[in-house]
Amino acid sequence: MRYGVIGMGAIGGFYGAKLAHAGKEVHFLSHSDYQYVKERGLQVDSCDGSFHLPHVNAYGAASDMPKCDVVLIGLKTVNNRLLPELLPPLLKEDTLVVLIQNGIGVEEDVQKMFPEVQLAAGLAFICSAKTEPGKVNHQCYGYINIGNYSCKQQEKIDEVVNDFRQAGVDANEVEYLEARWKKAVWNMPFNGMTVALNTQTDILLQHPSTLQLIKDQMMEVIEAAQACGVKNIDETFAEKMIYNTVHMTPYSPSMKLDFEFKRPMEIDYLYTRPIEEARKAGYRMKKLEMLEAELRFLDLRQRTSE
């Protein structure tokens, strides 16, 4: 299959590079470091083994790209407004678009933009960053779950999962809504708290007060998910997320990096939308509502001070 990658950052750059390194045909839409990658290639420094792609199918414009069987969207959700321009040149009649993005409600809104396009969620569990041109720093984890949202071709989902596995990425198909909310159990506490308290994941878990607050926020997400009808999610999942985070490399999540580099934060899909969905189902995420308000304040203050 021919893959297209829109968003050659920490996520799209890593997964696209893994597929290309395994011999898959991958075409990347690059923005800020297009010229650098064309001239020098793409370097992946990885805990699972580093590698360099000397020749990368990189493009500065979506209109120059070929039509693809699968398109991986690695954009931040704050840039989804660009999809009506960026995505159509890559689409065939049966293209599968995998949104490797954070948050609740992403697929619903993209489906409204492209009613006929087949969509799946890509849930990436990875510590990865891209803070300089042409280099992805993969620190730990790296597996990806695929949740079918509107794909009518099960064999295409199966093939994507198999291609990732052949590329050395642990990949599995999962139930869509359950997977989205399970990802939120980690994302909602850690992304916002590292910004609000200007710290990293490990420090939050070393202090009893913030450890308890993280646990409380995780339970709000779990109870919200249950109110929304999600199965197979309870307190044991929060305990698993805490355990995994304690044993992973100290990490600044994507929202913390966005704030540090003065980029817009993904507040809408990471906080506002799940809070709204929970409220519709009769549940209030009170601690996370407060965190959302703090993030809105910090985001506005940063943008108005520039």
Retrieve residue 210's tokens: 């913030």
In the block, residue with structure tokens 């965190």: 291
- pLDDT of res. 25: 98
Structure confidence at residue 306 (pLDDT): 62
- Rounded to whole angstroms, the Cα distance separating 19 from 124 reads 15
What pLDDT is attached to residue 70? 98
- State how far the Cα of 56 lies from the Cα of 40, in Å rounded to an integer: 9
CB-count burial class (<10 Å; 0-12, 13-18, 19+) for 78 = middle
Q: Which helix (H) or strand (E) holds 242?
A: helix 235-246
| Distance separating alpha carbons of residues 147 and 157, to the nearest angstrom | 9
Report which DSSP code applies to 271. I
Provide the pLDDT for residue 212: 98
| Calpha distance 12→272 (Å, rounded) | 25
Distance in angstroms (rounded) separating the CA atoms of residues 238 and 297: 28
Q: Give Dmax over CA atoms of the chain in angstroms.
A: 54
Name residues whose C-beta falls within 8 Å of residue 81's C-beta, 6 or more positions apart in sequence: none
- pTM, two decimal places: 0.94
Delimiting residues of CATH 3.40.50.720 domain(s) in the chain: 2-174
pLDDT (tens digit per residue) in 18-28:
999 999 999 99
CA distance 104 to 123: 11
Give me the chain's average pLDDT, please.
95
Enumerate residues 6+ apart whose C-beta is below 8 A from 173. 145, 146, 147, 148, 157, 158, 161
Ranges for all domains in the chain classified under CATH 1.10.1040.10:
178-304
Its CATH class, for the domain covering 178-304, is: mainly alpha
**What is the homologous superfamily of the domain 2-174 according to CATH?**
NAD(P)-binding Rossmann-like Domain (3.40.50.720)
- Coil, helix or strand for 147? strand
Query: Which of 168, 164, 174 has its CA nearest to residue 26?
Result: 164
- In the predicted model, residues of the chain with pLDDT beneath 50 are none
Spatial neighbors of 168 by CB under 8 A, at least 6 apart, are 18, 22, 48
Is residue 136 within a helix (H) or strand (E), and if so which, with residue range? strand 135-148
- The per-residue pLDDT for 228 is 97
Catalytic residue among 183, 215, 280, 286: 183
Could you give the 3-state DSSP secondary structure of residue 247? coil
Secondary structure of residue 291 in the 3-state scheme: helix
Active site residue 183: yes
